[in-house]
Amino acid sequence: MGACARERRRPNVFFIIIDDLNDWVGCLGGHPQARTPNIDRLAMRGVLFTRAYCTAPLCNPSRTSLLTGIRPSTSGIYENDQPWYSVFAPEATLPGFFKSNGYSAIGGGKIFHHQNRRVWSTRFKKRGYPSPQEPAHRFRGDPSLESLQWAPTDAEDWQTEEGKLVSFVRKAFARPQKRPFFLAVGTYRPHLPWYVPRKYFEQFPLDSIQLPRVREDDLDDV
């Protein structure tokens, strides 16, 4: 079998990761007001895992564990300020493995918590997110909640960071590839701050919002 025929048999891989997404989506029976038609359609086309757990409750150790297959208890990476590449070689990561085995490794958005250019053949660079046109709302009084900010912006979808990322991915799919590709895309939202186009805020008038149920004694056993 010729080299070209072997290359055609190697499938392209499309990897999607979403930052801070919980189970409040339609396919998991989440919050009744959540509108997630695209995620629901994707779930119907594949395998939906309803019992999935992360290895650490922080971005960096959790993502490092997912992308290397090594638990934090083995790697020692428990905090967000520990670069994964101080422990692992790029080839030991999922995209690095594909790259070292003849794939074009294309990355866009938040894949790792700490980026390393040696992992990728091509990478989308973060462009920034439009700032709100009015002061951001935030929780006050508790220092641990000060970073929780939200505000509507007057940007269009295509002007947001996620919109630019989608454009990058569409162009990557359309571009002729000499090698099979591993294409990884990671959206930053719904990670804070929640600056989104105004039309999405307007879909949910304040007096219509259903707050989640919280047990009054929920913290008694902590």
SS3 category, 84: helix
Catalytic residue list contains 113: yes
State the number of CA atoms in the 13 A half-sphere of 21 facing the CB.
Answer: 16
Instruction: Count other C-beta atoms under 10 Å from residue 151's C-beta.
Output: 18
Catalytic residue list contains 31: no
Q: Which of 113, 114, 137, 191 is catalytic?
A: 113
Cα–chain center distance at 219: 29
Beta strands in 37-173 (DSSP E): 104-109, 122-124, 137-138, 149-153
Q: Are 88 and 72 in contact (CB under 8 A)?
A: no
Q: Which of 59, 114, 137, 191 is catalytic?
A: 59
Query: What's the chain's Rg over C-alpha atoms?
Result: 20
Catalytic residue set: 59, 113
